[in-house]
Structure 1
Amino acid sequence: MEKKMKIEVWSDVMCPFCYIGKRRYEASLADLPFADQIELEWKSYQLNPTLETNLDITTYDYLAENKGMSVAQAKAMTAQVAEMAKTVGLDYDFDKAVVANSFRAHEFSHFAKTFGKQDEAEELLFKAYFTEGKNVDDIGVLQELAAALGLDTAGLAKALEAGQYRDAVREDLYEAQQLGVRGVPFFVYNRKYAISGAQDVDVFKQTMEKAFTEWRKENPASPFEVIEGPSCGPGGCE
């Protein structure tokens, strides 16, 4: 299997700019001939690690208290973000958004990653939070998302209850601190270049082209199109 250039993105499901950034990143790949040679990995980040899930308050109440503003100001701010989301085809409904701690959602992302479905899981998490008004801290909700991806819902519940992916989430959070990540989304290209925030598509595209050009020089493409099959090598047969 040919090696791919890795892009890592630190993100939080409750970050509205992360979903917008995801769309702009995806748009930057649209016309690039090497899009299939990119490997995307989602990394966990929490905007508010101490947040307690609370179904009895609105997002506006939470923002007003957390940011020291009035509810009216919170509504105006989220309305502006919702308008920005529309420019990339997203429909945000802050009236329905549930105030929820995102740690368990990150555990679900890592669970999906083991089955090669992490990017799809992130998409469903964002949609559940910003559009559908679902509680992403609820195991039942996460099982619904897992089912939509064709994943084992009972296995997910068991993994979440056992805390199987807690350390993986914590490692991402720690790594973000080590890298100096102060806001999300935070895209890291081949550990050489980084983009902070939901930048314009052209910024993503230019960074992608620069990073990939350098990476390709360091990792020349195989001159052959290899069709894999049973074979033997110095390490044995497989």
Structure 2
Amino acid sequence: MSSVSKKFSVDIWSDYVCPWCWVAKRRFEKALESFPYKDNVQVNVRAYRLAPNHVAEPMVGALKRKLGSPAAAVSMMSTVKQYGQASGLDYRFETMLFGDTADAHVLVKAVEDEVLKKNLVEALYEQSTTQGKSLFDRSSLESIAKSVGVSDESIRVAWSSMELRHQMQEDERTAAQFGSGVPFFVFNNAFSMSGAQAPEDFLQALNQMYLESNGADESFSGQVCGMDGCN
């Protein structure tokens, strides 16, 4: 347990249909595990939808359309799979779906327990990316949520609360101030990092946060998914 009393925050904007976001999540977690003051870091999950109001469709077709060619889509999927495997993640693009993830984001916001929320976020990535489960059907989302212990009451609140949907929209409005694209990280409201950075780069950012930089707007960039595709 760290003896440092100061608390830090890391806000992470991501989407469950963003190909790079699961890789970025795993790399950040690896860096955080190595950070000496990890117990003092509050990680806040922020919502961002790559495809608001978009009807669910196969991921492969969506990538081909967004990237402009089948060859570009194949190249991108191959790269993501490679980086995913290096992080112990199994990407199966042939069964993945793409669309509006509003219900998934609201479901996460309905969970108050931080450990349970973390487990749900991981399950949403794993079940949609590896198992081909839908994030666009409430019965499917409920099954995923219950598999990690989310209560019926939390699920009921997710589907009925307008306040949670407003929170999701507020996350998106805040993200728009920084620009478009996920994954996106803000460290202690002081500086930002975008993309699926290497673990050592995330650790550098955590150390910079700890050293309490002078507040200059410094940013780091890596692979990012935006409304027009992934870079």
Q: What TM-score range do you get, normalising by the shorter chain?
A: 0.7 to 0.9
Aligned length: 208
Please point out which of 208, 211, 224 is paired with 1:213.
211
Contact 1:9 1:43 in 2 (8 A): yes
> Aligned pair 1:197/2:195, yes or no?
yes
Map Cα deviations across residues 79-115 of structure 1 (whole Å, 9 max, x no partner): 2211111111100011111233211111111112x23
Question: Is 2:14–2:184's contact at 8 Å kept on the other side of the alignment?
Answer: yes
| Alignment TM-score, normalising by the size of structure 2 | 0.83
Give the equivalent residue in structure 1 for 2:74. Answer: 75
Structure 2 residues not aligned, in runs of 5+: 214-231
1:5 and 2:35 correspond: no
Task: Work out the CA distance in 1 between the residues paired with 2:175 and 2:154.
Answer: 28
State the Cα RMSD in Å: 1.9
Could you say if the C-alpha distance between residues 77 and 175 of structure 1 is closer, same or farther in structure 2, counting changes exceeding 3 Å?
A: same
The answer as to 2:43 corresponding to 1:45 is no
State the distance in 2 between where 1:67 and 1:177 align.
22
Equivalence for 2:101? 102
What SS class does the counterpart of residue 30 from structure 1 fall into?
A: helix
In structure 2, the partner of 1:33 is 36
Larger radius of gyration: 1
Q: 1:154 to 1:143 in 2, by over 3 A?
A: farther
Relative to structure 1, the CA distance from residue 154 to residue 141 in structure 2 (aligned partners, 3 Å threshold; closer, same or farther) is: farther
TM-score (normalizing by structure 1): 0.80
Please list, as runs of the form range in 1=range in 2, the aligned pairs for 1:1-238 lying within 5 A after superposition. Answer: 4-54=7-57, 58-70=58-70, 72-112=71-111, 114-116=112-114, 117-153=116-152, 155-178=154-177, 180-214=178-212
State the Cα distance separating 1:161 from its structure 2 match. Answer: 4.3
Letter in 2 for 1:181: G
Inter-partner Cα distance in structure 1 for 2:99 and 2:153: 22
Indicate the SS of the match to 1:188.
Answer: strand
Deviations 1:145-176 (A, max 9, x none): 22123221354145314545211100100111
